[in-house]
A and B are shown apart, each in its own frame.
Chain A
Amino acid sequence: MRKLRVVIAKPGLDGHDRGAKVIARALRDAGMEVIYTGLRQTPEMIAGAALQEDADVVGLSILSGAHNHIAPRLMELLRAKGLDDVLVVIGGIIPDVDIPKLKEIGVKGIFLPGTPMQDIVDFINTHARARV
C-alpha cells in the first residue's frame, strides 16, 4: 500500500512554527510522506498544495485565533476541487466553543496543546484513506 501523503500547513500571519515542524517530523518518522508548505499560506495556497501533492491528509497549525476564518474557506475550496475525501485536522489553540463549529464543517480532528504526537499519528492512521 502507498504511504499516506500529508500536507502540513501554517496558515495566516503567525510565524510560530515549532508545533508544525515537530508534528511534521513525527509523522515522517511514523512512515508518512510529509510535505511542509512553510509559513503564511492562504486557504487557496493550501488547497492548491493538497491537489498538487495528491494529499490524503491536510494538517493545519493555527495558534492565532484565525481558525474560524481559515477553516471554512479551506473546506469550501477542497470541496470545489473534488477533494472532499481528504482528511483535515487542526492542531493549535482552539477555544472549546469553536470546536463543534469546526467539526460541523468537516474538520475531523482537533488537537489541543499537550496532545501526544502518537495520538495524532494514530488518529491519522485510523481515519485517513490512502488514495489510489
Chain B
Amino acid sequence: MKTVAETDREPTSRFTTISGRPIERLYTAADVADIQYASDVNDPGIFPYTRGIHATGYRGKLWTMRQFAGFGTPEDTNQRYKTLLRAGGTGLSVAFDLPTLMGRDPDHELSLGEVGKCGVNVTSLADMETLFDGIRLGDITTSMTINSPAAMIFAMYLVVAEKQGADWKKISGTIQNDILKEFIAQKEYIFPPRPSMRIITDIFGFCAREAPKWNTISVSGYHIREAGATALQELAFTLRDGVEYVQWGVDAGLDVDTFVPQMSFFFNAHSDFFEEIAKYRAARAIWARTMRDRFGAKNERAWKLRFHSQTAGVSLTAQQPYNNVVRTALQALSAVLGGTNSLHTNSLDEALALPTAEAATLALRTQQVIAHESGVANVVDPLGGSYFVERLTKDLENGTLDYFAQIDRMGGMVEAIERGFPQQEIAESAYRFQQAVERREKVIVGVNDFVQSDEPPIEILYIDDSAADTQLEKLAKLKRSRDQDAVQRSLDGLRAAARTTENLMPRILEAVRAYATIGEMCDALRDVWGEYEEVPRI
C-alpha cells in the first residue's frame, strides 16, 4: 500500500487558507492535546466564552439582521430604511457619504462630486431629523458608521431622539467611533491620533452617565481586513485597538466595569470558511482573558465580546456578479456558526455600485434563509470540539498574543501606528495576496479562472448629482434661517473646551441644537488640533 506521502503529489503550498496559513490534510485528537476544555474553551455562556457569550445561543434571540444603507439625500435614505424595516430588517445601519465622514460641508471644495455618492449626506441636525422622519428611535436600534465626527453625529441622533420624546437612558444603538482602524486601514481621519483618542474617551465618559445602553464604539477589524490584512492580522490589530481604548479610558479615570461593557466589535466575514469561524471564537476568548487579567475587570459583561459582522466587500467580483450571492451566503454562514451578534450581508452588485433595492432585499433574504431554513441556529457552536476548528482557534489566539507583545514593546497601538507598523504589515499582505491571485495560486471564480466573456450587464444604481444640488440648497437656506449668534457662541465654546480637558459632548450638543453644521464643528476643532497627514508609503 502506498503511504499518504507517496499518493499526495500535490505541492503542500496549495493547501493554505486565504490568509496563507498552511492547512494539514487531517486533524486528529493529537492536534488538540494541548487544549484543556474547561480553561481554554468551556461551554457557551461560560468564561472564556470561546463557544459563545450566551448559553442559549440563537435560541433565545437570533442575531440582528442589520443592513448597512445610505445614499443621496436624507429623504432618499429615509425611504430605503422604511423599505428595509417593512422587509423584516431588525435594525438600521447608516452609511454616510464621504463629506460627512470627513467633516466637510457640501459647499467645501473637497466635497465636489462626493455628496450623497457613497452614503447619505448629513450636514446638520435638520438632515438627521429628515433621515429618521417617521421612524421611532425609542423602538429601534441604529448603528452609525461614523468615526472622526462620531461625537457630532451621535449628538444629532440624541437631539432627534429627545425631540421624539425618547429617553436617552433607554435608547440603544452603536456608533463606530473607532479612529485607530482609520489610521491603520480606512484612512478617514481628521485630527491627529491623540486628540482623536480624547474625543473617544469623552464619549465613553458621557455615555456611561447619559446613555448607558448605547454601544460607544465598534472596534473594527472589517476595514483592516478589507485593506488586505490576513485573518490573524485582522484579529490581532482589532483586539489590540480594543486594548488601547480600554487603556486610554482607564488613564482618563473611567471604571472598566462601567465603560467596557458598552464597547462592541465588528469583524469581517471573509471567504475562508473555517478560519473565519475560528477567528470569532478566538476573539471572544482573548478579550475575556485580557479584560479579566490585564485590566482586572470584575463585571462579566466587560469580559463578553459582542460583535457585528459584515461579509467581505473585497471578495465581491464585478465579473459574473450573481456569483456574489453564493460567496455572501457562505461568508454569512461562517459568521453565524462563529456566533455573530448581528450581521450585514453584502449585495451582489456592490463591486459595481451601491446596491439597488432589489439586490439589498436579496441580501437580507440570504440571512433569513440561514436563520429559518438551514437549521444552524438550533444548536450553539455546532463546530465546537472539531479537531480542526479547535486547533485553528488556538493558533489564532497564540498568533494574536504574539502581535500583542510586539505592539506592547512599541509602547502601544498609537505608537505602533505612528511608526507605520500595522499599515506596513497590511500592505505587505495585500500585495502578497494579489501576487498569489496573478499566479493563480488562489482561484477567484470568474476572475482568474472559469472566466466568461459573454456576460450581459446587470442593472446598477446610478447616483447622479441631484443630491448635491439639493443638499447645497438646503444648506444655504439653513444658514439664512438659523440664529447665527447662537451658532457662533456654541462654536467658540467648543473651541475653548478643546483647549482644556473638559468633556466635549455637552459643547457639541449645544452646537448641534443651534444647527451648527458638521463642517463648522469639525473646523472649530481643526483650529485647535490641526489635521493629521499620513506620510505616503508604498
Judged by a CB distance under 8 angstroms, whether A24 is at the interface is yes
Q: Is the CB of A114 within 8 A of B317?
A: yes
Q: Which residues of A contact B437 (CB under 8 A)?
A: 116
Judged by a CB distance under 8 angstroms, whether A104 is at the interface is no
Q: Is the CB of A39 within 8 A of B110?
A: no
**How many Å from the CB of A110 to the closest CB on chain B?**
12
Q: Is the CB of A113 within 8 A of B318?
A: yes
Most buried by B among A18, A42, A66: A18
Residue of A nearest to B464 (CB): A68
Q: How far is the CA of A25 from the CA of B526 in the complex (A)?
A: 33
Q: Which residues of A contact B114 (CB under 8 A)?
A: 12-14, 64-66
- Which of B194-202, B334-342, B374-382, B427-435 has 4 or more CB atoms under 8 Å from chain A? B427-435
Q: Is the CB of B110 within 8 A of A42?
A: yes
> Given A15-B182, A26-B434, are A114 and B110 neighbors across the interface (CB < 8 Å)?
no
Q: Which residues of B contact A13 (CB under 8 A)?
A: 98-99, 101-102, 104, 110-111, 114
Q: How far is the CA of A15 from the CA of B444 in the complex (A)?
A: 25
Q: How far is the CA of A114 from the CA of B101 in the complex (A)?
A: 27
Judged by a CB distance under 8 angstroms, whether B463 is at the interface is yes
Q: Which residues of B contact A37 (CB under 8 A)?
A: 536
Q: Which residues in window 484-538 of B have CB below 8 A to A?
A: 533-538
Q: Is the CB of B98 within 8 A of A12?
A: yes
Q: Is the CB of A16 within 8 A of B430?
A: no
> Given A39-B187, A68-B113, A116-B438, are A22 and B98 neighbors across the interface (CB < 8 Å)?
no
- Interface 0/1 of A1-24, CB less than 8 Å to B: 000000010001111111001101
> Given A66-B114, A93-B353, are A14 and B98 neighbors across the interface (CB < 8 Å)?
yes
Residue of B nearest to A62 (CB): B113
Residue of B nearest to A23 (CB): B434
Q: How far is the CA of A98 from the CA of B172 in the complex (A)?
A: 41
Judged by a CB distance under 8 angstroms, whether B252 is at the interface is no
- Interface 0/1 of A32-68, CB less than 8 Å to B: 0010111110100000000000000000000011111
Q: Which residues of B contact A97 (CB under 8 A)?
A: 462
**How many Å from the CB of A5 to the closest CB on chain B?**
15
Q: Is the CB of B317 within 8 A of A21?
A: no
Q: Is the CB of B438 within 8 A of A21?
A: no
Judged by a CB distance under 8 angstroms, whether B319 is at the interface is yes
Q: How far is the CA of A37 from the CA of B444 in the complex (A)?
A: 30
Tally of contact residues, B, Cβ under 8 A: 47
Q: Is the CB of B430 within 8 A of A21?
A: yes
Q: Is the CB of B538 within 8 A of A36?
A: yes
A-B contact count (CB 8 A): 106
Q: Which residues in window 316-336 of B have CB below 8 A to A?
A: 317-319
**How many Å from the CB of A9 to the closest CB on chain B?**
10
- Interface 0/1 of B204-241, CB less than 8 Å to A: 00000000000000000000001110000000000000
Q: How far is the CA of A121 from the CA of B101 in the complex (A)?
A: 34
**How many Å from the CB of B46 to the closest CB on chain A?**
39
Q: How far is the CA of A22 from the CA of B357 in the complex (A)?
A: 32
Q: Which residues of A contact B351 (CB under 8 A)?
A: 93, 113-114
Q: How far is the CA of A66 from the CA of B298 in the complex (A)?
A: 50
Q: Which residues of A contact B448 (CB under 8 A)?
A: 116
**How many Å from the CB of B146 to the closest CB on chain A?**
14
**How many Å from the CB of A20 to the closest CB on chain B?**
8
Q: Is the CB of A18 within 8 A of B226?
A: yes
Q: How far is the CA of A14 from the CA of B111 in the complex (A)?
A: 10
Judged by a CB distance under 8 angstroms, whether B254 is at the interface is no
Judged by a CB distance under 8 angstroms, whether A74 is at the interface is no
Q: Is the CB of B434 within 8 A of A22?
A: yes
Judged by a CB distance under 8 angstroms, whether A112 is at the interface is yes
Q: Is the CB of B434 within 8 A of A117?
A: yes
Judged by a CB distance under 8 angstroms, whether A82 is at the interface is no
Most buried by A among B98, B111, B353, B460: B98
Q: Is the CB of A117 within 8 A of B102?
A: no
Q: How far is the CA of A5 from the CA of B457 in the complex (A)?
A: 36
Residue of B nearest to A38 (CB): B536
**What are 30 A-B interface contacts by the 8 Å CB criterion?**
A12-B113, A13-B102, A15-B186, A15-B187, A15-B188, A17-B187, A17-B227, A18-B427, A22-B228, A22-B430, A22-B431, A22-B434, A24-B538, A25-B431, A26-B431, A34-B538, A36-B537, A42-B110, A64-B114, A66-B113, A97-B462, A112-B318, A113-B317, A114-B317, A114-B318, A114-B319, A114-B351, A116-B437, A116-B438, A117-B434
Closest 4 CB pairs of A and B: A15-B187, A69-B113, A38-B536, A66-B113
- Residue numbers of A with Cβ under 8 A of B are 8, 12-18, 21-22, 24-26, 28, 34, 36-40, 42, 64-70, 93, 95-97, 112-114, 116-118
14 new A-B pairs (CB below 8 Å) besides A65-B114, A118-B438?
Answer: A13-B114, A14-B98, A18-B226, A18-B228, A38-B535, A38-B536, A64-B98, A66-B114, A66-B117, A69-B113, A95-B462, A113-B351, A114-B447, A117-B438
- Residue numbers of B with Cβ under 8 A of A are 98-99, 101-102, 104, 109-114, 117-118, 182, 186-189, 226-228, 314, 317-319, 351-353, 427, 430-431, 434, 437-438, 444, 447-448, 457, 460, 462-463, 533-538
